[in-house]
């Protein structure tokens, strides 16, 4: 997945650079391109898979589909000098759910470091995840092959997004014994909430490539998931699908 993130960033950046060079060589009368019917704002919805890089052996993820769901309200501003290019700016919510394999994440621990405890041989939750919710501001540099009709246009974008942490919590479901037998019933759920160990600021590089309203997106967090000194320096990377009018 990490290689795919880098590949998407490279391809999107190359397409944008080549498009800019092409338009510089070929003079276009941009006054003849009418974007009055193109929406200036839109929603952008993203869904896909997440993972953490540089995990030590104690951080055993994978007992479930680690995933993200993001939704943003975006404003699109075409460049006057090249209407195939635009700047997208918005705000919204980004959520990430990281599942763990027989590992307890004690987010309420009083210790200085976030404990990741192996629980194979003791009572534990069959399903366990850590959820983070950020208020995010995404910024994209966009390219459209057909700016007058984005619904029938190839598109590419590279950008950044910055977020501030709203909530972080763990959720365990179906408490079982070491033999896998349910103790309180399969619907039993326990949640614990704390932001103490999670980085309060998130900064990520992003890229998208697609056609019409669908595109393949990728993101790589540039800073650590956890605060400095409270655990391993891990970074989140994501791959998914974007639904967007622009």
Taking only the tens place, the pLDDT of each residue in 114-157 is: 999 999 899 999 999 999 999 999 999 999 999 999 999 999 99
Residue 20 belongs to a domain = no
Q: Which residue has the tokens 């400095």?
A: 228
Residue 99 belongs to a domain = yes
* The pLDDT of residue 18: 64
Residue 21 belongs to a domain = no
For 174, the token pair is 């179906």
Give Cα separations from 12 to 8, 18, 55 (angstroms): 6, 10, 28
**Number of structural domains found in the chain:** 1
Place 34 in a pLDDT band, splitting at 50, 70 and 90: confident
Residue predicted with more confidence, 10 or 22: 10
Its pTM stands at 0.88
We report the CATH number of the domain holding residue 127 as 2.40.160
Residue 31 belongs to a domain = no
Q: Which residues contact 163 (CB under 8 A, 6 or more apart)?
A: 94, 134, 135, 136, 137, 201, 202, 203, 204
Residue predicted with more confidence, 48 or 20: 48
Residue 28 belongs to a domain = no
Residue 32 belongs to a domain = no
* The pLDDT of residue 64: 86
Picking from 93, 87, 95, 92, the residue whose alpha carbon sits closest to that of residue 73 is 92
Q: What is the residue range of 199's domain?
A: 2-10+37-244
Residue 25 belongs to a domain = no
CA pair distance 2, 118, nearest whole angstrom: 26
* The pLDDT of residue 11: 66
* pLDDT tens per residue, range 72-99: 999 999 998 899 999 999 999 999 999 9
Residue 16 belongs to a domain = no
């Amino acid at each position: 997945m990490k290689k795919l993130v880098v590949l998407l960033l490279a391809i999107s950046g190359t397409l944008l650079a080549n498009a800019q060079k092409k338009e510089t060589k070929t003079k276009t009368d941009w006054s003849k391109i009418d974007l009055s019917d193109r929406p200036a704002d839109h929603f952008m919805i993203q869904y896909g898979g997440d993972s953490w890089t540089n995990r030590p052996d104690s951080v055993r993820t994978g007992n479930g589909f680690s995933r993200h769901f993001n939704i943003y309200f975006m404003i699109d501003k075409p460049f006057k000098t090249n209407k195939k290019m635009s700047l997208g700016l918005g705000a919204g919510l980004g959520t990430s759910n990281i599942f763990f394999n027989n590992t307890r994440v004690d987010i309420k621990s009083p210790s200085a470091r976030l404990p990741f405890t192996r629980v194979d041989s003791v009572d534990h939750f069959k399903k366990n995840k850590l959820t983070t919710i950020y208020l995010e501001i995404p910024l994209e540099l966009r390219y459209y092959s057909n700016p007058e009709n984005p619904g029938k246009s190839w598109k590419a974008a590279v950008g950044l997004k910055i977020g501030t942490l709203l909530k972080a919590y763990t959720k365990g479901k179906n408490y079982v014994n070491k033999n896998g037998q349910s103790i309180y019933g399969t619907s039993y759920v326990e949640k614990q909430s704390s932001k103490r160990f999670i980085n309060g600021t998130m900064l990520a590089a992003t890229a998208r490539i697609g056609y019409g309203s669908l595109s393949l997106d990728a993101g790589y967090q540039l800073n650590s998931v956890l605060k400095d000194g409270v655990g391993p320096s891990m970074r989140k990377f994501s791959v998914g699908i974007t639904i967007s009018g622009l």
